[in-house]
A and B are shown apart, each in its own frame.
Chain A
Amino acid sequence: MIKFILIFFGLMLFALNGFGSDNNCLSCHFDFEDEGGSASKFAKDIHSQKGLGCADCHGGDPTLDDMDDVRNSKGFRGVPNHLEVPDFCARCHSDAAYMHDHNPSMPIDQLAKYKTSIHGQRLFSAKDKKVANCVSCHSVHEIGNGQMPYSSTHPSNLPATCAKCHSDKDYMAEYKIPTDQFEKYSSSVHGLALFKRGDLGAPACNDCHGNHGAAPPGVSSLAAVCGVCHALEAELFEKSPHADAFLENDFPMCETCHSNHAIFKPSDNMIGTTESALCTECHAADDGTIGLPTADSILTSLNNLVAAHLNAKQSLDEAILKGMMTTNEEFLLKEVVQSLIQARTLIHSFDMDSVAPKAMEGIAKADTVVLNSAGLIDEYYFRRKGLAVATLIITFLAFMLYRKIRKIEQK
């Protein structure tokens, strides 16, 4: 009986130790690693999910039971050091034939781009072990793609991934670059869209700086970077008198007015000659340009349109509150908002002849909304008066009939 029990437990242990398994690496690594170590993390890794094992990266024979035997087995590559990581990953990720078999839609130029990045240049040229390599951003054994919510490269996690190094003052001290980008970005219009509204389409660090080829955009390329999303604004700016002037004075195109990481929500007060306007930072009344008069005219046009929209909305709200059918007016009011958006976009032409017609178009539509809403409100009171008259007539008839009934029944 004892013999039988020993044989049974022996077989159980054998089975638990990966009897017949192709990958013995995990069974040992689970034993000597703490919870949360590489072995336990690897289950979440996209490579594991795609069916790759430890040996596909680290080499060696994973079927062997003894660690020393694995280390001595053919093709064992072990753990790469910081400088070796890019080439270690590129063995597969830059191999077109290999990637075609596993993920044909994935680019294979990550290493080439990385070499052009500031990170790559410092790693390969200066042998700088502090700059980011693949695992700094993608993690080591918990690698996910951009669609996986837990992945370090998912849009909502990406700013924090970059901030791991770039917000660390001590770590970045020797590079002499600011470390407040993440803080500024978090309160910017882009950061709020991503973090507060959960808009995954909002730009994160990589959308402006690139990812594998990460580099800060230069003065001349800034408009192109912003123009990827803000195409109309960029096109209008390029044709405006400001384009050459900014270039000559080394003013970054969008950043000069809108800042870079701390891009705040633009307001109409940014233009004009008031205290909060930005135009006066460069222009003066006697600078010999039409800058300030144009800015004032544009601001007046916008303010008129905003006031017209507000007035139209108030009129329409009153008609809605009275329960009138306002579908057409609501649609027209949306067109007013559209005109306002377009007029604000046209500011980037810095040309009054572009902004004014659009503002006038919006004001005309807003006036129509006011007129129609007033008509609907009049109609509401007409209905009420009509009801009062009808009710009075019906009540009178009912009363007369009641008297007639009383008269008949009294007979």
Chain B
Amino acid sequence: MDGTQNGLIKKGYQWLDDRLHINSLVEYMGGKVVPQHSHSIFYYLGGITLFLFIVQVITGILLLMYYRPGADSAYESVKFIVSEVSFGWLIRSIHSWSANLMVLSAFLHMFTVFFTRAYRKPREMTWYTGMGLLALSMTFGFSGYLLPWNELAFFATRVGTGMAGAMPVVGDYLMVIMRGGEEVTGATIGRFFGLHVAILPLMTTGLLALHMIFIQRQGMSEPMHWAGKKQEDKKYMKFFPNFIYRDALVWLIALNILALLAVIFPDGIGVVHWPLGEKADPFGAPPAVIRPEWYFMFAFQALKMLPAHIWFIEGELFGIIVFGIGGLIWILIPLLDRRANENKRSPMIMAFGTFVVLFMVVMTIVGYLVE
């Protein structure tokens, strides 16, 4: 029986190889290696992010079968999903948990790449596409937050789009484009829905493909302290099957954690929560506390703490300009950190990175502590 099975597999493989020349790809993969050192664990963060993105796509498609956008149907359809559809509650819970965990792992992935300076030549393009993917992930989160059309989502989106409206020159136009009018209405759901299920997935798939191609072509970045090491002192593992198996093991662990969280906390827990609550009422009183999702909290809190005016500029506008400049510096790090290409230390860049991490952590904590 086993012999017959193996024979069939071999025949099938041969059939494919005759047509697609898979052998050359397998040989290429077989030659790939992954550096093994004390920070090797960080290599799995990108894989976890990818796994969570795949979960997002699958659960998103399942939700799409019942979700109906519109001010009169969005809330009702989500309520139907979680209360009537078999395992609908689980699909929504997994979708929400994996979304939050994906943004978290993407952030961790970015910071580990930053502090190991893996963005240095020749991986600048990988860094840029990665930054693009992180921005897309956050936009996924922002656009998905409104879709249940509940009270909290409505007011948080009103505040969020209002902040975009404070941007210089294009702010007002941007806000109207985002909202589909002056106010957050059913038209906004239509736009956010289109963005969430069509535009963003398309852009993400394209950018993700580029990001993966770059990684496959260039391999994993070696740590900087390996620069002076002899080749025989460097330790590697085969990409296939060793690293792939390890990656699969990490994915299984991630799936297990995801299942536990989704079943035990279907509405989230603590500051990461998404209870359906009451339907959005544009004429109702806003909730006592309006908070954005946790990954926007640092920016939200920082803008809230700014005075009404700084010099002659409005406080909020000043904050947005500073964030814009800061974000641009962060994206352009591969260009600014020239010393990294020469394997030299860059204390200024490291200090900047440390400041950014501390700022984000402190502001997020303050945001949740201050009512």
A41: CB under 8 A from chain B? no
Interface residues of B in 244-273 (CB under 8 A from A): 245-246, 248-249, 252-253, 255-256, 259-260, 263-267
A408: CB under 8 A from chain B? yes
Would you give the shortest CB distance from B126 to chain A, in whole angstroms?
26
Select A401's contact among B249, B264, B265, beta carbons within 8 Å.
B249
The answer for the CA separation of A405 and B248 in the assembled complex, in Å, is 10
- B252 in contact with A401 (CB, 8 Å): yes
- B249 in contact with A408 (CB, 8 Å): no
| Chain B binder among A253-261, A298-306, A310-318, A387-395 | A387-395
- B263 in contact with A387 (CB, 8 Å): yes
Select A405's contact among B83, B245, B266, beta carbons within 8 Å.
B245
A328: CB under 8 A from chain B? yes
The answer for the CA separation of A402 and B253 in the assembled complex, in Å, is 11
Interface of A is mostly: helix
B211: CB under 8 A from chain A? no
The answer for the CA separation of A397 and B265 in the assembled complex, in Å, is 24
Residues of B within 8 A of A327 (CB): 79, 83, 276
Residues of A within 8 A of B263 (CB): 383-384, 386-387
The answer for the CA separation of A266 and B180 in the assembled complex, in Å, is 54
Would you give the shortest CB distance from A389 to chain B, in whole angstroms?
10
Interface residues of B in 220-250 (CB under 8 A from A): 237, 241-242, 245-246, 248-249
- A387 in contact with B249 (CB, 8 Å): no
Residues of B within 8 A of A394 (CB): 252, 255-256, 259
B119: CB under 8 A from chain A? no
B138: CB under 8 A from chain A? no
B303: CB under 8 A from chain A? no
The answer for the CA separation of A227 and B159 in the assembled complex, in Å, is 48
Lowest 7 A-B CB distances belong to which pairs?
Answer: A387-B263, A398-B252, A394-B256, A325-B83, A401-B249, A405-B245, A325-B82
The answer for the CA separation of A386 and B248 in the assembled complex, in Å, is 23
Residues of B within 8 A of A397 (CB): 252
11 new A-B contacts, CB < 8 A, other than A387-B260, A395-B256, A401-B248, are A323-B265, A323-B267, A328-B83, A383-B90, A384-B263, A386-B263, A391-B256, A391-B259, A397-B252, A398-B253, A405-B246
- A408 in contact with B241 (CB, 8 Å): yes
A404: CB under 8 A from chain B? yes
The answer for the CA separation of A235 and B241 in the assembled complex, in Å, is 85
Residues of B within 8 A of A101 (CB): none
B51: CB under 8 A from chain A? no
The answer for the CA separation of A102 and B253 in the assembled complex, in Å, is 79
Residues of A within 8 A of B265 (CB): 323
B274: CB under 8 A from chain A? no
B89: CB under 8 A from chain A? yes
- A405 in contact with B89 (CB, 8 Å): no
Interface of B is mostly: helix
Question: Number of contact residues on B: which range applies?
Answer: 20 to 34
Residues of A within 8 A of B266 (CB): 323
The answer for the CA separation of A359 and B266 in the assembled complex, in Å, is 37
Question: Number of contact residues on A: which range applies?
Answer: 20 to 34
Interface residues of A (CB under 8 A from B): 323, 325, 327-328, 383-384, 386-387, 390-391, 394-395, 397-398, 401-402, 404-405, 408-409
Select B256's contact among A383, A386, A398, beta carbons within 8 Å.
A398
Would you give the shortest CB distance from A111 to chain B, in whole angstroms?
44
Would you give the shortest CB distance from A313 to chain B, in whole angstroms?
20
Residues of B within 8 A of A386 (CB): 263
Residues of B within 8 A of A325 (CB): 79, 82-83, 89, 276
Residues of B within 8 A of A402 (CB): 249
Would you give the shortest CB distance from A401 to chain B, in whole angstroms?
5
Select B260's contact among A391, A398, A405, beta carbons within 8 Å.
A391
The closest CB in chain B to the CB of A396 belongs to B252
Residues of B within 8 A of A391 (CB): 256, 259-260
Would you give the shortest CB distance from B75 to chain A, in whole angstroms?
11
- B256 in contact with A401 (CB, 8 Å): no
27 A-B contacts (beta carbon < 8 Å)? A323-B266, A325-B82, A325-B276, A327-B276, A328-B83, A384-B263, A386-B263, A387-B260, A387-B264, A390-B259, A391-B256, A391-B259, A391-B260, A394-B255, A394-B259, A398-B249, A398-B256, A401-B245, A401-B249, A402-B249, A404-B245, A405-B245, A405-B246, A408-B241, A408-B242, A408-B245, A409-B237
Interface residues of B in 262-308 (CB under 8 A from A): 263-267, 276
B 66-90 to A, binary, CB cutoff 8 A, 1 in contact else 0: 0000000000000100110000011
Interface centre among A386, A387, A394 (most CB of B within 10 A): A394
The answer for the CA separation of A386 and B90 in the assembled complex, in Å, is 11
The closest CB in chain B to the CB of A402 belongs to B249
Residues of B within 8 A of A404 (CB): 245
Would you give the shortest CB distance from A225 to chain B, in whole angstroms?
36
Residues of B within 8 A of A383 (CB): 90, 263
Residues of A within 8 A of B267 (CB): 323
Select B259's contact among A323, A387, A398, A405, beta carbons within 8 Å.
A387
